[in-house]
Structure 1
C-alpha cells in the first residue's frame, strides 16, 4: 500500500470535517492505523498542519479574502482548504520553503484534472508571498468582537461569551493562550515506575523531557517526531497521556486505599486509572459510560497499565442508577461531558465543532448527571464534579442551580480539603480552576460536593 502525502491526508481530514463533521483527530488516528508504513515525521507534519489550519482558520480565510477579485463565499470548499494548508505553511511554519508549499498546493488543485484551478491557486499564493509583510490580521472599521474573532481565529459567539463573563482584557489574554501549541504531557504509572526512573529511561532513548511544573507525577515531552503510542515505554504501560490539569483533578477526590469509587462518564480512563493507582489492588473503580467503544479503549488501557480492578459498565448516567448499581458510594467522580472550551489549545477543532446552542443542552445534561450521582452517593460521601471548559453555565452556575434543588448537598471548600500542592488553584468560592493564560494549563473546573 502506497503511503499518502501528509499534506493530502491533512486535506482529507479538513474536508471530512467540513462535509461530515468527523473530527480531524479521529480521522487521522484511523488513517495512521490504515497506513502503518507512514513515517513518524510524516505523521507529525500531518497533525501539525491540520491543527495549525484549525487553529488559525478565520485569520487564514481573511488573508485569502484580501487576495480575491470575487466574493469569498463563491470559493469551492476543497480549494479553500488547499489554500488554508498552503498559507499556514507559508505564514506560520518557518522550516517549510514557500516554493514547496505552493507546489504541493498546485498539485492538490490539479488532482481532479482541472488545470485552471492549479493556475488560480498558484497565482493567489504567490500574490500572498509578494505582499505578506503588508497583510493585515483583521479588517479595519469593524466592531470589537468581529476584529478579535478574525485576529485570534475564534467564532464570534465564544468571543462574546468570554467578554461577557471575564471582561475584554482577560478575553484577549485567553484567546492568545488558547492559540499556543501545548506541550505533550504524560502521567507516570506509579504502579510500575517512578517519575525519576521514567525520565531517565526516556532521556536514554534521546527524548527531550522535563518534570511537569505542577503535577508530581507529570512529565513534559518536547520535539517528539513520532506518535507517543509508538514509544517502548508507552507499550510497556509505564505512562498514560494526560494533561497536567487533568492530573491535578485526579488528586482532589483522595479516596482511601482499598476504597470503591464510582466514576460517571469515565471515557477512555484517564482519571479512572489514576484513581485505581490511588486505591490499590484491594480497591475497585467502577467506570460507567454510555459509549461501549469508549469503554473498550478503557479496558485496553487498563490491560496495558497492569490494572485489573477497574470495571467498565455501559450505562446512561442521566437515568436512575440505584437498581443497576445496588449500592451507594462514599466517593464519586463525574468527568462531565462539556463544551471543552478549556482545551481548545490541545484540540482546536473544538472551536468549529461547538455551537452556542450546545451550552444550554450540555448544562441540562450535566444537571441530570449530577442528580443521578447524588441519588447513589452515601450520606457523608463526597462527589467531585469536573469539566474541561470555561463556561459559567457549565461550571459554578450549574453547581449553584443544583444546590438550590438539592438542599441535602453542600460545597466543600477545596482550600481546606485538597492536597497542599493543589490549593493554589482554588478560588475564593472553594472551586478548583486552572487557566490557559494564567497557569499555562488546560482550562479545568472542579467542585467538591458532599451529602449531609
Structure 2
C-alpha cells in the first residue's frame, strides 16, 4: 500500500512550525524534508517558495493579520503559521487564486484541528479578502514602517540606518526578500570555465558567466549539486562574495597558508586551486564532522595539498611556532547578517547581544592567529556580515593593539576588476544589493 501523497501546503506549515520551535536553519530542514518525502520537482519549487516566502515576510504578514484575529495569544502555533502561509499566497503569489489558497487552508484546519478552528481560519481569510489589507501608511516612523514592510527586526533596521543611512538600509532590506541565485566556482586545475559551461548545458542546465569573478558561473535553471560535473569535481558551489577572500589573500605557489576557520572548505579549496595545488593549506575547524566536509570537498576536487586539523583556533599558538605561515585567512564566526536571503529565519533569532559576544570572539581569534604570520606576510580578516562592530571596529581595535600590522593597500591590484571600485583602502564591504551576492567584509593587513 503506497503512502498518501503529502499536501505541499501542509508540509510547508509543518516546516514553519519546526523552524520556529527548534530554531532550526530553514535551508537544512527544507533539504532534509525534500529528501525524506522524495517530492517531485514541481512540488519542491512550490514548497521552497511557500516556506522561504512566508518566513521572509513574517512581520508584514502578522501586521496584516492582526486586526482580523481576536485573542491571537490563545491560538495554537500551527494556526498562526497556517494563516501566514495562506495570506502569503493571497498577497504575493499571482499564480494561486485566493479561493484555492483559502480552500486548502480550511481543509488543513479541519484535518489538524476541529470544525471551530476551520471556521475561524475561513472567517479570518474571507474577512481579509472582503475588507482588504490594513495600510502601512498608518505607521508614521519611516524606520518602523520599513522594518514591518520588509520583515526585519526594528532594532536591526535602526542599527543599519545609524551605520549606513536610510536609503542603503532600505535597498538592503528589500533585496533580502529576494531569492539568491546559485553560483559556483569552476575548478581551473581541471577544466576551463567555458568547458565547464558546455558540460553543464549538455546536462540541461541554464548557465551564465559571472560578471564579477573570472572563474565563477551562475545557474539560471537547475540545482548544480545534482550534476555529474559537480560529482566529478569540476566546480564548487560558493557565493561570489566568498570567492573574493582567496583573491584578497593572494596565495602564491609553494606558500604555506593557514585557513583558521575553514569548514566546509570553500575558501581552502579555492586557495589551493589558485596556488595550482602546490605548497600547503592548513585548514582548521573546531568540529570533527566539519573537518570531514573539508576533506570530502578536497578529495572531490582532486586537491591533495590541504591538511585538516580539528581544534579551537584560539589555541593555535600551542600547535604552531610564531611566524610559520606566509598567509593567514581568518574567516571569523559572525552574526551572518549578510546571508539572510539564504537563511531568512536568522533575522528573527539574532540580537544585539549576539553581535557584542561575537565581536569578543573575533578579537580573540585575531590575537591568536596574528603571531603565526611571517614578517612581510599577509593576514586577511573576513566575515559574512554587514555590521560595523564586527567588521571595521574589530579590525581597527586589532590594529591599535598590534602596531606590527599595517594596512595592505596593494591588495586592490589582486582583486577582480569589477570589485575594485568598491575597495576602500585596505578593506571592502560588499552589500547584498551591490551585485546580488551575499553581504561580505574583507580587510587585508600586512605584517611589517
Question: Are 2:333 and 1:332 equivalent residues in the alignment?
Answer: no
Q: CA deviation at 1:158?
A: 0.7
Distance in 1 separating the partners of 2:219 and 2:12: 24
Structure 1 partner of 2:47: 46
Structure 2 partner of 1:188: 186
For residue 344 of structure 2, give the secondary structure of its aligned residue in structure 1. Answer: coil
TM-score, normalising length from structure 1?
Answer: 0.92
CA contact (8 A) 1:258 1:280 kept: no
Question: Are 2:110 and 1:110 equivalent residues in the alignment?
Answer: yes
Structure 1 partner of 2:155: 157
Q: CA deviation at 1:410?
A: 1.4
Q: CA deviation at 1:58?
A: 0.4
Distance in 2 separating the partners of 1:141 and 1:229: 44
Question: Are 2:303 and 1:301 equivalent residues in the alignment?
Answer: no
* CA distances 1:243-264 after superposition (whole Å, capped 9, x unpaired): 1111222211111122221101
Q: How does 1:400-419 map onto structure 2 within 5 Å?
A: 400-414=396-410, 416-419=412-415
CA contact (8 A) 1:331 1:383 kept: yes
Are residues 95 and 205 of structure 1, via their aligned partners in 2, closer, same or farther at CA, if it must alter by over 3 Å? Answer: farther
Structure 1 partner of 2:90: 90
Distance in 2 separating the partners of 1:414 and 1:78: 55
* CA distances 1:401-449 after superposition (whole Å, capped 9, x unpaired): 1111111111212564433526525433321222222333221110011
Structure 2 partner of 1:66: 67
CA contact (8 A) 2:25 2:343 kept: no
Question: Are 2:225 and 1:229 equivalent residues in the alignment?
Answer: yes
Distance in 2 separating the partners of 1:339 and 1:137: 32
Are residues 177 and 28 of structure 1, via their aligned partners in 2, closer, same or farther at CA, if it must alter by over 3 Å? Answer: closer
CA contact (8 A) 2:337 2:439 kept: yes
CA contact (8 A) 1:249 1:446 kept: yes
Structure 2 partner of 1:28: 30
Q: How does 1:332-371 map onto structure 2 within 5 Å?
A: 332-371=328-367
Structure 1 partner of 2:388: 392
Are residues 300 and 39 of structure 1, via their aligned partners in 2, closer, same or farther at CA, if it must alter by over 3 Å? Answer: farther
Unaligned runs of 5+ in 1: none
Distance in 2 separating the partners of 1:336 and 1:16: 29
CA contact (8 A) 1:62 1:137 kept: no
Q: CA deviation at 1:290?
A: 0.9
- Count of residues in correspondence between the two structures: 445
Q: CA deviation at 1:398?
A: 0.6
Unaligned runs of 5+ in 2: none
Are residues 97 and 296 of structure 1, via their aligned partners in 2, closer, same or farther at CA, if it must alter by over 3 Å? Answer: farther
CA contact (8 A) 2:186 2:193 kept: yes
Distance in 2 separating the partners of 1:145 and 1:267: 36
